A = this chain, B = another copy of it.
């Protein structure tokens, strides 16, 4: 199944970076912790970073019912973008400097999730995307907490994926001229040693689901 063939989701530039395989869309989305959600407010775009999760062909985002952007989002056009920076591409020319990256851009209309089971599943999955193992380990949300949390859904009906990998693409003359370094400085996001909360009993071991991250 192709991702989409609408105009706005068709990559117009550097088409060789465009991917049309749904598995690649899933891979980019599933590897992320934060998305950037775009919406329109008073005629201007607003971009907010937030957690999310993909379940099948739907992306779920949650927010506090008190957050400005969550109000009136049901039925509103949104754009959800996830980007992974994989490397800085050093070319012989300033012009061909670039980045290695994977990005997914999803267009659609937000749907407020009101079904209790769908909402519960989405919240569990959002927590698990952020902190795998935590849904089992932590206290589950109570009725008051659920009511304070809004969840909305965005279908993966219209999306584009762009991926750049590999070395710089220099002009032949610049390669032939020599004397300038070219290559990639890989960028990676890592987890460091867990920092226990000061309210924990001293010496309490870090549980496996955190330690193994």
Contact = CB atoms under 8 A, between A and B. Distances in A.
A88 to B, nearest CB: 6
B213 A197 contact: no
Interface in A116-167: 123-124, 127, 130-131, 134-135, 137-142, 145, 148-149, 167
Contacts of A105: 46-48
Contact of A187 (B66, B138, B190, B210): B190
Interface residues of A, number: 96
A25 interface: no
Interface SS, A side:
mixed
Interface in A163-206: 167-168, 170, 174-175, 177-178, 180-201, 204, 206
29 contacts: A8-B42, A33-B85, A33-B187, A36-B81, A38-B46, A43-B77, A44-B77, A44-B79, A45-B46, A46-B105, A47-B79, A49-B103, A87-B195, A88-B130, A90-B194, A93-B145, A94-B124, A95-B142, A95-B145, A97-B130, A131-B185, A139-B174, A168-B197, A181-B210, A182-B197, A182-B200, A183-B194, A185-B192, A185-B210
